[in-house]
Amino acid sequence: MSIRNYKKIVSLSAPAITALGLHHVFDKKYSGRGHILMFHRVLPKDNRPRVHNHESLEIDPEQLEQTILFFKKRNYLFLSINELSDHLKSDTKRKFVVFTFDDGYIDNLIYAYPIFKKYGIPFTIYITSNFINARTVIWWYQLEEELLKKDQLIFTWQNQEHHLAAETKTQKEIAFEEVRKLITGTANPHQYLDQLSKFFGMAEEQLFAYTRSHAMNWDQLTELAKDPIVTIGAHTANHLPLKNLESDQLYAEIINSKIEIEDHIKKKIYHFAYPFGKKLEAGEREYEFVKSHHFRTAVTTNIGNIFTGHLNHLHKLPRVNINSLTTEDVLELQVSGMVSFFINGKDQVLQ
């Protein structure tokens, strides 16, 4: 079953499960000490057609506020990512929640920040430095736009010709997956830009202009970073799947990018998020690298709650994904541990 269908099934069955209280079976063993929530974009709803479930990467400001109220009602502690390990070492029983955003989209500043400010709640943004420089490509959104405009894609990728039908919604979804595999499978970051520029039939500068319109700039980020409720984390230079990279490239992507952000915001960075963040894109080599370069924590996009045992795994922390399908009932199942139990089985960090 695809993860997309899985999400739909969870969201359809959630009201019945919570009404019956079935999720409480999981509470004791699988809800853990708390949760790190993962968000990408916050912006007002629009109903244009989408591909690859991209609308689910976006929530509207009202849903963000509802999510905060969900945890307020349940008397959770709102922690910054920096407070996580001390909290796990303490014996407090009170549950915690940490809010995190990936990439550095401008809408985080415009729509999410005022809500956190209103409630005085801390949050973290993991920054892709070349988003802020507008020197990398947000190809997943550009690919979506291509697919919505066209009914077929004809292109050459590393000397091989591809013809992909993209007339129907299903064909567009399949085409997205095919192109995604080609892009994320391209090892060399320089080759990658060149390939993208050929693929989209646009000069690099045009691709970068698209990034410019979606990302914060350095002045905005620096201003935001001054607020004590905000923690800035690192999310690499170019948002590449790290498993593809040689170790010198890994250094450039992770460490040079971290230093560049620190130089701009005049603050040290101690926290990291792996781009794409699933096991296919980040594994033991990357976890060890990040740990040995003195990051205090690092988050993946693997689904799960946080347990005391994560003190030994602070560089591969799972998160709870919040998207437009995350109703209050779905969130109830996620925090109970039921959702991660069905995804990961019993094989979770438990304490």
Taking the complex as a whole, the smallest distance from the CB of residue 26 to Zn ion amounts, in Å, to 29
Taking the complex as a whole, the smallest distance from the CB of residue 100 to Zn ion amounts, in Å, to 11
Is 281 one of the binding residues for Zn ion (CB under 5 A)?
Answer: no
Give whole-number Cα distances, 101 to 42, 230, 299, 340, in Å. Answer: 10, 11, 11, 20
> Hey, what are 128's tokens?
């892709």
In terms of phi and psi (left: phi > 0; alpha: psi -120 to 50; beta: otherwise), the region of 330 is alpha
Taking the complex as a whole, the smallest distance from the CB of residue 301 to Zn ion amounts, in Å, to 8
Q: Which stretch binds Zn ion (CB under 5 A): 97-105, 288-296, 310-318, 340-348?
A: 97-105
**Residues near 230 by Cβ (< 8 Å), separated by ≥ 6?**
113, 122, 123, 124, 125, 224
Taking the complex as a whole, the smallest distance from the CB of residue 323 to Zn ion amounts, in Å, to 14
Strands in 114-188 per DSSP E: 123-127, 152-157, 160-165
β-pairing, 123-127 vs 77-78, is unpaired
Taking the complex as a whole, the smallest distance from the CB of residue 102 to Zn ion amounts, in Å, to 4
Considering beta carbons, is residue 26 or 131 the nearer one to Zn ion? 131
Considering beta carbons, is residue 10 or 299 the nearer one to Zn ion? 299
Give the count of beta carbons closer than 10 Å to the beta carbon of residue 215.
24
- Interacting residue with Zn ion among 55, 103, 253, 260 (CB under 5 A): 103
**Residues near 37 by Cβ (< 8 Å), separated by ≥ 6?**
67, 97, 98, 99, 100, 319, 320, 322
Residue nearest to Zn ion (CB): 102
Considering beta carbons, is residue 102 or 144 the nearer one to Zn ion? 102
- Interacting residue with Zn ion among 58, 102, 253, 260 (CB under 5 A): 102
Considering beta carbons, is residue 103 or 286 the nearer one to Zn ion? 103
**Under the rule (CB under 5 A), what is the footprint of Zn ion?**
102-103
